[in-house]
Amino acid sequence: MKPLLIATEPIDYSIAFANGLAQHLAPTVIAPARHYRSLAGWFDPAVTLRLVDWPRTRSAANLAFLWRLLQMVRGERPDLVHLLSNTALWLNAAAPLWRSLPLVTTVHDVTVHPGDSETARLPDWPARLIARQSRDLVVHGASLKQAAAARFGKPERNVHVLQHPAIRRYTDLGAREGLQRSSPTSEFRVLMFGRIYAYKGLRTLVRAEALLANRLPRLRIVIAGRGDDPLQLRGEMGVPERYDVRRRFIDDREVAQLFLDADVVALPYDEASQSGVLHLAAAFGKPVVVTDVGELAATVEPNRIGLIVPPGRPDCFGEAIARLAEDRHLLETLGENARAWSEGPNAPATVGAAAAALYRQLTAL
C-alpha cells in the first residue's frame, strides 16, 4: 500500500515517524520547503520527499497553494492520507475533497497548553475542525484517546494510539561529528530543554534548585530554548550563578552537545499531553525527572527510564534530582533503560510497524 504523509510540524516527530514507517512501507511526504529543505538528508532513502513552497498561515496565496496540493495528492494516488499534525489551518479547505480516501490526523495536544503564547497566536477552531473532518485520529497515549474522542466527537474506535517515536537525529549527528561530553565531571548537570512557557513548570525547577543549594553544591542547571525569560525568576533562585540560560533558538549541533553534557533531563511540567523532549532524552540514554501529568508517568514508569513526582511540588522534584545525583548506580541503570527503550519498544521502526498495521486496517474497512 502507499501512504501519503503531509508534514508541517513538529519537525523532529515528522522525520522520526516517516523514517520509522519507511522500514515497512514506502511513504511519500509532502512538506514545506522552508522547514525541511535543510533537513532533507535526514529522511530515509525509502521516503519520497516532496518539498513545496507552502505559504505562511496568513497569506492569501494559500488558496492557489491548496489547488496545487490537491493536484499533487491526486498525482500520487495514495491509499491513505495522514496529516502529521492538526494545526495547519488551510488544510481544512482541502479535507472535504479527500473524502474518497481514509484521512488520518495526528493530534499531539488535545487542548492548547495554558501559557503557550506561541500556539495561542493561532485560532483554536482550525485544529478542532480538521480533527472532526478526519475519519480517524492518532494520539500518543490511552488517556489522550479518551480526551480526543470526547473533544472532537469521535467514537473511541476511530481514535488510535501510536507512540511518539524516539528522536534519533541528534544522536546520529553527535556520532557523525564525533561529539563527546564536554561538561566537567565534577558537575551534576540538569537540563531543561524546549519551548519554555508557563505550563512547563520552570518555577518548580527553580524552587527545587533553591532547596538544594547546600545539599548539592556541584549542581548546574541548564535551561535552553525559546519562550519565557527564566531570569525573571532570579529572585527565587538559590544560587543564580549556577544557571546556564540559553533563551534562543538552539541549532542542531548545540542540541546534541546539550544532551551529551546532561546527567538528567528535567520535565517539571504543570500540564502536558506528552513530550518530544522525553523521546529525545531517551535516545541519548539520559534519565528524566518528570511530573505526573498527561502521558508522562504512563511512559516513564513501566519502562523505568526516570523518576516521577507530583506536579507543582518543588520539594519532591528537588529530592528526585538529589537522589539521582547521590546514587550513581540508579542514575546509570535508568539511563541504560532509556537507551534500550529508545532502540527497542520506542524505536522509530517499532512505531512504524504499528503505523503500517494501522494503515492496513483502515484501508481494509
Indicate the fold that domain 3-165+347-363 takes in CATH: Rossmann fold (3.40.50)
* pLDDT for res 58: 83
CA separation (Å) from 65 to 11, 32, 259, 261, 305? 21, 11, 39, 43, 44
pTM score over 0.85: yes
Name the percent of the chain lying above pLDDT 90: 85
Residues 6 or more apart whose CB falls under 8 angstroms from that of 44 comprise 18, 19, 22, 23
Q: Where are the domains of the chain?
A: 3-165+347-363, 171-343
The answer to whether residues 299 and 141 touch, using CB atoms and an 8 Å cutoff, is yes
- The type of residue at 50 is R
How high does pLDDT run on average in the chain? Answer: 94
Q: Which three cell numbers stand for residue 132?
A: 472532526
The correct CATH number of 171-343 out of 3.40.190.290, 3.30.390.30, 3.40.50.1000, 3.40.50.2000 is 3.40.50.2000
* pLDDT for res 2: 96
Position 191 pLDDT exceeds 70: yes
- The H or E element that residue 161 is part of is strand 159-161
SS3 332: helix
* pLDDT for res 56: 87
Model confidence band, residue 339 (pLDDT cutoffs 50, 70, 90): very high
Residue with cell string 484517546: 145
Q: Which three cell numbers stand for residue 251?
A: 541549532
Task: Residue 3: count other Cβ atoms within 10 Å of its Cβ.
Answer: 26
Position 4 pLDDT exceeds 70: yes
> DSSP letter string over 38-96?
GGGGGS-TTSEEEEE----TT-TTHHHHHHHHHHHHHHH--SEEEES-S--TTHHHHGG
Positive or negative CA dihedral for 201, 206, 211, 215? positive
Residues 6 or more apart whose CB falls under 8 angstroms from that of 168 comprise 16, 283, 342, 348
Query: Which of 5-19, 97-111, 112-126, 312-326 is predicted with the least confidence, judged by mean pLDDT?
Result: 112-126
pLDDT in tens, 242-277: 999 999 999 999 999 999 999 999 999 999 888 999
- The type of residue at 316 is C
Q: Which three cell numbers stand for residue 310?
A: 507530583
Decide whether 3-165+347-363 matches 171-343 in CATH topology.
yes
* pLDDT for res 114: 59
Q: Is 352 left (phi over 0), alpha (psi -120 to 50) or beta?
A: alpha
Position 57 pLDDT exceeds 90: no
Q: Which three cell numbers stand for residue 161?
A: 494510539
| Sheet of strand 3-6: strand arrangement | 48-52, 28-32, 3-6, 80-83, 103-106, 136-139, 159-161
pLDDT in tens, 67-90: 999 999 999 999 999 999 998 888
Q: Which three cell numbers stand for residue 280?
A: 529525545
Residues 6 or more apart whose CB falls under 8 angstroms from that of 234 comprise 240
Model confidence band, residue 118 (pLDDT cutoffs 50, 70, 90): low
